[in-house]
Chains A and B, each alone.
Chain A
Amino acid sequence: MNEGAQGGTPFGGIKWSVLFFLCLLVLWQLVVPFLRVPSYLLPTPAQIVEEFGKRGGLLMSQFLPTFYETVLGFFLGVLVGVSAGLGIVYSRFLWLTIYPSLVVVGSIPRVAIAPLILIWLGIDSLWSKVTIAFLVSFFPMVINSIVGFSQVETEMLDLAKTMGMGRWMEFRKIRLPNSIPYLFAGFKASIALAVIGAVVAEFVAGQKGLGYLIVVGNNDLNAPLIFASIIVLSAMSLGLFGIIVGLEKLLMPWRRGIQPSEL
């Protein structure tokens, strides 16, 4: 591998991207007053930082409900997605019945049914928003579970038979570990969708959460508050994504292996 072309260490790349990002911020800070853009349209980075100082407590208190809705919706999606995936892989009946209906549900733009869910489960309830986050996020989990549990080489399954493996052992030793990379791909897609689901639910419900705060900021023409909320949301999303990536590296040491081409 050419060390020079990669910037020496992996941190070489991060250093440059941080520098670039800081330059953009400085440019933003300078250009907005220069062009006399009013702050209700586009605040400067300094104004957003000021907003954090002024309303840090509010942002924190509205962050927590959004966080709970996202995480609970995500876990519910994983639970339902993996169970459905298992059922569909192991039962021809479920494959024929549930799978097609799931595909139909999967093709509904699920944010469109958010208002209905709120009516059914209650606008005040945490669970109505969790349900929306779940509905928006669970579909990739179903598909990835199905692929992960079923995409095993036929020859491996043949070998397992000649080794005298039963179905349960075949699942534990072959199908389950085989599914891990697929499941993690599903987790990554789902967590991002769960955030979207939670925010949309809060837009509609208008009770609390960062999504609600964005609606408030919009009504008050308070763009710094909107930006601050978006930043907190993105940080949350990034943090959750980071946890998943960290777990993935921890659970799949074989993926970090040196490739033969590098030997």
Chain B
Amino acid sequence: MTSVIQYEKVRKIYNSGHDEVVALQEVSFSVGEGEFVTVVGRSGCGKTTLLKLTAGLLQPSGGAVQVAGAPVRGPLTNVGIVFQAPVLLAWRKAIDNVLLQVEARKLGVENYRKRALELLDLTGLKGFEERYPSELSGGMQQRVSISRALIHDPPLLLMDEPFGALDAITRDEMNIELLRIWNEAKKTVLFITHSIPEAVFLGDRVVVMTPRPGKVAEIVNIDLPRPRTTTLRDETKFIAYVRQIRKSLGVR
């Protein structure tokens, strides 16, 4: 398997006045093509920093981040990003928020309108295409955001706690839907979360990170069959993975 993302002894230090905060220290791992890798850890373990370094929105203080074989020097454009907040433009209807991605890339809005409608359908927003974000629930807004991250068909999807603000029930549903989309579109996914069950449920591998300074404590291969359904969460093997990760995070 060729690796799409490669982290080599990545360090990130933030200078805030006279204080130095080591956000990431000696982070090394790689993500293979078509792989779904989840990163789990407490707040402040550098998860978001890792994502921003991957997208080229930040530069490492040491080490190297490589995406598709090339070192990341500036903002990557062949990625789709979903943040914890939906980050939609209030003055654009759902479909036009999705099409922003197309407009920005000057790909021709009319060529992509059909695809945008398909994606909104795929993410369960049929009938809501012409609604403004203020007319959509939090979960629906996040679906718009996911559609926007997919419309230009990027090979790599970066997701930063995308379902963190949703209620537990909606979150479980969105997990199933995301796996369905991933299965259909065959993308490489780097998914950041602070939920251990979510990390196990989604990932081929779970990167466990510990804070201060943020570093990789363990990488767990999740040997669970796909397609995964909600009942998986009750199985002993699933529970065992959750327990193992909880232990390596030092949760008492």
- Chain A residues in the interface with B (C-beta under 8 A): 153, 155-156, 158-165, 169, 173-174, 177-178, 180, 252-255, 257-260, 263
A128–B57 CA distance with the chains assembled, in angstroms: 51
The stretch that binds A, out of B29-37, B80-88, B181-189, is B80-88
A161 with B57: in contact, given A169-B104, A173-B104, A174-B89 (CB under 8 Å)?
yes
Query: Which one of B56, B57, B89, B134 lies within 8 Å of A260 (CB-CB)?
Result: B134
Residues from 120 to 160 in B contacting A, C-beta threshold 8 Å:
131-137
The answer on a CB contact under 8 Å between B85 and A153 is: yes
The answer on a CB contact under 8 Å between B83 and A155 is: yes
With most chain B CB atoms within 10 A of its CB, the pick from A162, A177, A260 is A162
Interface size on B, as a range, is 20 to 34
A254 with B137: in contact, given A158-B55, A161-B57 (CB under 8 Å)?
no
The stretch that binds A, out of B71-79, B168-176, B199-207, B236-244, is B71-79
Residues from 229 to 252 in B contacting A, C-beta threshold 8 Å:
none
With A164-B77, A254-B91 already in contact, 6 other A-B pairs whose C-beta atoms are closer than 8 Å: A155-B85, A163-B105, A165-B104, A252-B91, A258-B134, A263-B135
Which chain A residues lie closer than 8 Å to B135 at the CB level? 257-260, 263
The answer on a CB contact under 8 Å between A162 and B85 is: no
The answer on a CB contact under 8 Å between A257 and B132 is: yes
User: At the interface, yes or no: B218 with Cβ under 8 Å from chain A?
Assistant: no
Which chain B residues lie closer than 8 Å to A177 at the CB level? 89, 91
A259–B131 CA distance with the chains assembled, in angstroms: 11
A156–B56 CA distance with the chains assembled, in angstroms: 15
The answer on a CB contact under 8 Å between A162 and B134 is: no
Which chain A residues lie closer than 8 Å to B76 at the CB level? 162
A158–B58 CA distance with the chains assembled, in angstroms: 10
The answer on a CB contact under 8 Å between A159 and B87 is: yes
Residues from 62 to 107 in B contacting A, C-beta threshold 8 Å:
75-77, 79, 81, 83, 85, 87, 89-92, 100-101, 103-105
Which chain B residues lie closer than 8 Å to A263 at the CB level? 135
What is the CB-to-nearest-CB distance from A85 to chain B, in angstroms, rounded to a whole number?
A: 19
What is the CB-to-nearest-CB distance from B27 to chain A, in angstroms, rounded to a whole number?
A: 20
What is the CB-to-nearest-CB distance from B8 to chain A, in angstroms, rounded to a whole number?
A: 22
Which chain B residues lie closer than 8 Å to A165 at the CB level? 104
What is the CB-to-nearest-CB distance from A194 to chain B, in angstroms, rounded to a whole number?
A: 27
Which chain A residues lie closer than 8 Å to B42 at the CB level? none
The answer on a CB contact under 8 Å between A254 and B132 is: yes
User: At the interface, yes or no: B52 with Cβ under 8 Å from chain A?
Assistant: yes
A257–B81 CA distance with the chains assembled, in angstroms: 27
A164 with B81: in contact, given A257-B132, A260-B134 (CB under 8 Å)?
no
The answer on a CB contact under 8 Å between B79 and A162 is: yes
The answer on a CB contact under 8 Å between A156 and B105 is: no
Which chain A residues lie closer than 8 Å to B75 at the CB level? 158, 161-162
A164 with B132: in contact, given A158-B52, A173-B100, A254-B91 (CB under 8 Å)?
no
The answer on a CB contact under 8 Å between A260 and B103 is: no
Which chain B residues lie closer than 8 Å to A156 at the CB level? 87, 89
With most chain A CB atoms within 10 A of its CB, the pick from B76, B79, B135 is B135
Which residue of chain A is the closest to B75 with respect to CB atoms? A161
What is the CB-to-nearest-CB distance from B75 to chain A, in angstroms, rounded to a whole number?
A: 4
With most chain B CB atoms within 10 A of its CB, the pick from A159, A177, A180, A257 is A159
With most chain A CB atoms within 10 A of its CB, the pick from B79, B92, B132, B136 is B132
Which chain A residues lie closer than 8 Å to B81 at the CB level? 158-159, 162
B10-45 CB mask vs A (1 if < 8 Å, else 0) is 000000000000000000000000000000000000
Which chain B residues lie closer than 8 Å to A252 at the CB level? 91
A263–B139 CA distance with the chains assembled, in angstroms: 15
A153–B136 CA distance with the chains assembled, in angstroms: 19
The answer on a CB contact under 8 Å between A259 and B57 is: no
A263–B134 CA distance with the chains assembled, in angstroms: 11
The answer on a CB contact under 8 Å between B77 and A162 is: yes
Which chain B residues lie closer than 8 Å to A174 at the CB level? 89
What is the CB-to-nearest-CB distance from B188 to chain A, in angstroms, rounded to a whole number?
A: 15
A124–B52 CA distance with the chains assembled, in angstroms: 62
Which chain A residues lie closer than 8 Å to B83 at the CB level? 155, 159
A159–B149 CA distance with the chains assembled, in angstroms: 9
A258–B137 CA distance with the chains assembled, in angstroms: 11
With most chain B CB atoms within 10 A of its CB, the pick from A158, A163, A165, A259 is A163
Query: Which one of B56, B87, B90, B136 lies within 8 Å of A155 (CB-CB)?
Result: B87
The answer on a CB contact under 8 Å between B87 and A153 is: yes
Which chain A residues lie closer than 8 Å to B57 at the CB level? 158, 161-162
